[in-house]
Structure 1
Amino acid sequence: MKIGILTSGGDCPGLNAVIRGIVLKGDKVYEHSFVGIRDGYRGLVEDDIFTLPRKQVRGLSKQGGTILGTSRMGPFEHGGADRVKEVMEAHEMDAFVAIGGEGTLTVARMLHEEGVPVVGVPKTIDNDLSATDVTFGFETAVAIATESIDRLRTTAESHHRCMVVEVMGRHAGWIALNAGIASGAHAILIPEVPVTLEQVTGWVQATVNRGRAPVVVVAEGFRLAGEDVSAKHGVDHMGRPRFGGIADQLSPLIEELTGIETRSMTLGHLQRGGVPTSYDRVLATRFGTHAIDAVHRKEWGTMVALKGTDIVSVALAQATSELKSVPKHRWDEAAILFG
């Protein structure tokens, strides 16, 4: 079989490890051949495809980003399934593996429903896909955010300031929750749990009263309860709002109500960049090797997923039916430590 591989949507550490796992096992065990599809679905509709031999993926597990490139272009505005089938036929491509998050896998499901042979691999630093316990890239993003918050705490303590640190998380606050707990944040604000400005300033003031410099960790999709304070910057190609800047909006409000000098920091794409942690390298490699197993078995319309410590296959429809949000009881566990 000749199999295409694409990475679509936001990049994250571990993508190259997936590609490596697919190609190495596919070549060694099944004797399949591979082609790379440049820049996600763009390459699939614009016929930007190249041969991907085994030697080109050697040593990739530690490399961040993606050697295939990525984009947020969708195929249905550019010929849809018919165009995808046309390009695949021109390259004698029997199937392709789509590595991406909720948007990428939703498109993969739609293509499968129109007869395109595809297998998915879950990728999102937000860890918000409900069909898998963990997605690769998440652990690396949390580690980067935790280290960044640790560094910011030293300067906050020196100047007796409050720091509001914004991390990624459009609809799910997993990064904020885990990085906040790991770094000992004095408040964690996530999209799933609206809180009032009075609650936030209460935690900040209580921290100062104990002689500490407050650190507030906020997910980019958070909004204050009862107030129109959120950060949006238009919409992306799928009509979803672009977030970013909530820390900049919260900081002056906190300073105004408490009189405590407050600074904001948005970590942004730092969380996506750099090399993956050892955990993410292992998980991504396992996803890749199991994805090629699914392709060899012609399990079209499925996605590999982590259940406990095992890699299993689930239907793409199941993977994209709902997002995995932070349960209230998980936030409550952390909230005991606030202030």
Structure 2
Amino acid sequence: MRRLGILTSGGDCPGVNAVIRGAVLAGDIVHGYGFVGFRDGWRGVLEQEVVPLPRHSVRGISRLGGTVLGTSRTNPLRNGGAGAVRECFRRNGLDGLIAIGGEGTLAAASELCRQGLHIIGVPKTIDNDLGATDYTFGFDSAVQTATEAMDRLRTTGESHHRCMVAEVMGRNAGWIALHAGMAAGAHAILVPEHPVSLEQVAAWVLSARDRGRAPLVVVAEAFAPMGQIAPYAPRGLDTFGRRRLGGIGRLLEEELQARTGIETRATILGHIQRGGEPTAFDRVLATRLGIAAVQLAADGRWGTMVALRGTDIIPVDLEQALGALKVVPEARYREAAVLFG
């Protein structure tokens, strides 16, 4: 029997389990594949921590948040490289591997493919910033969670006549901030693609207050105010050498209160956005991506990633998939900015 491995790496997000289920069911029913999973992403590959994935093991998991396989931010290129991954393939009798992950995971997969390993990528990031796909699963769920949190922040802000700042995730792009902020009726949305001065943010806050509103400011974690070179990142680097973001909301809390005289409170939503059950949209998208990934493996289309274009699932070369980030364009930001203040 042909055999595929599955791993989930990087940050978790709603919909991962639906990918696993879609891949295992389609692989078993249509292609006759057997499956094994690796615990905690690339760490499980390097340390040979394997779990069998028979068809009955994925029963009912598509509605569950997180990942049943676990995840980590292990970088295989720094911890053994292609030789260790190749040995894992040999010992487990694998024809190939389905790697479910974001930018870091897929970059590692692309390099391993260049070194002769058989890997198919499935894009996973709540940031929705991969240019080769219209949407990544997890994004819709994160936006829904953030919107519900902002609705709650508005009610407490209105009760106390406060300005509320909601910080959301968004390492390279402000899609969560833009969508959740628009849905919640924010009076200012701050994203990394479009620097804004603190004076302008304060003016929007005062405008909302003067109309009798409790101002709501939504900020992406990578936002840097105009004149500041890099985003606020006091926690050093992660295992892929990227800044560990988070905390700009607290900085805005202090600045806005000082500049406007309005009592201001910040809430960092953080990992709340990653948790919980996936939305129906993400369950369907993730399931389709899992099915398509196995089809690519069966066709020998190694070194590719499944992507959503319009309503179709298509294969994209991994190198092309990582070629450009999808950021919030000027027109989309200006569309939202009409409603600020």
Q: TM-score range by the shorter chain?
A: over 0.9
- 1:257 corresponds to: 259
- 2:226 corresponds to: 225
Structure 2: runs of 5+ lacking an equivalent? none
Residue among 235, 238, 247 paired with 2:237: 235
- 2:45 corresponds to: 44
For normalisation by structure 1, the TM-score amounts to 0.99
Closer, same or farther: CA 75–320 of 1 in aligned 2, 3 Å: same
Counterpart-to-counterpart distance in 2, 1:78 and 1:226: 38
Paired amino acid for 2:316: V
- 1:136 corresponds to: 137
Paired amino acid for 1:157: E
| Contact 1:38-1:68 within 8 A present in 2 as well | yes
Counterpart-to-counterpart distance in 1, 2:78 and 2:187: 46
What secondary structure sits across from 1:86 in the alignment? helix
| Contact 1:229-1:249 within 8 A present in 2 as well | no
What secondary structure sits across from 2:183 in the alignment? helix
Counterpart-to-counterpart distance in 2, 1:50 and 1:182: 41
- 2:146 corresponds to: 145
- 2:114 corresponds to: 113
Deviation at residue 227 of structure 1 after TM alignment: 3.8
What secondary structure sits across from 1:284 in the alignment? helix
Instruction: Give the aligned CA root-mean-square deviation in angstroms.
Output: 0.8
Paired amino acid for 2:329: P
Aligned residues with identical type, % of pairs: 59
- 1:325 corresponds to: 327
Counterpart-to-counterpart distance in 2, 1:317 and 1:187: 36
Counterpart-to-counterpart distance in 2, 1:261 and 1:114: 57
After the TM superposition, which segments of 4 or more aligned residues of structure 1 sit over 3 Å from their partners? 227-230
- 1:273 corresponds to: 275
- 2:104 corresponds to: 103
Paired amino acid for 2:307: A
Counterpart-to-counterpart distance in 1, 2:56 and 2:232: 45
Structure 1: runs of 5+ lacking an equivalent? none
What secondary structure sits across from 2:126 in the alignment? coil
Deviation at residue 228 of structure 1 after TM alignment: 6.4
Deviation at residue 31 of structure 1 after TM alignment: 1.0
1:305 aligns with 2:307: yes
Counterpart-to-counterpart distance in 1, 2:230 and 2:260: 18
- 1:61 corresponds to: 62
| Contact 1:205-1:258 within 8 A present in 2 as well | yes
Matches within 5 A, 1:280-299: 280-299=282-301
Counterpart-to-counterpart distance in 1, 2:230 and 2:47: 41
After TM superposition, the structure 1 stretch with the greater mean CA deviation from structure 2, 84-93 or 14-23, is 84-93
Q: 1:101-145, CA deviations, whole angstroms, 9 ceiling, x for partnerless residues?
A: 011000000000000000000000000000000000000000000
Deviation at residue 77 of structure 1 after TM alignment: 1.7
For normalisation by structure 2, the TM-score amounts to 0.98
- 1:163 corresponds to: 164
What secondary structure sits across from 2:165 in the alignment? strand
Task: Report the count of equivalent residues.
Answer: 339
Deviation at residue 148 of structure 1 after TM alignment: 0.3
Counterpart-to-counterpart distance in 2, 1:229 and 1:288: 37
Q: 1:15-49, CA deviations, whole angstroms, 9 ceiling, x for partnerless residues?
A: 00000000001001111100001111111111111
Counterpart-to-counterpart distance in 2, 1:108 and 1:22: 18
| Contact 1:167-1:219 within 8 A present in 2 as well | yes
Q: 1:267-302, CA deviations, whole angstroms, 9 ceiling, x for partnerless residues?
A: 000000000000000000000001100010010000
Counterpart-to-counterpart distance in 2, 1:208 and 1:276: 36
Counterpart-to-counterpart distance in 1, 2:49 and 2:114: 24
What secondary structure sits across from 2:244 in the alignment? strand
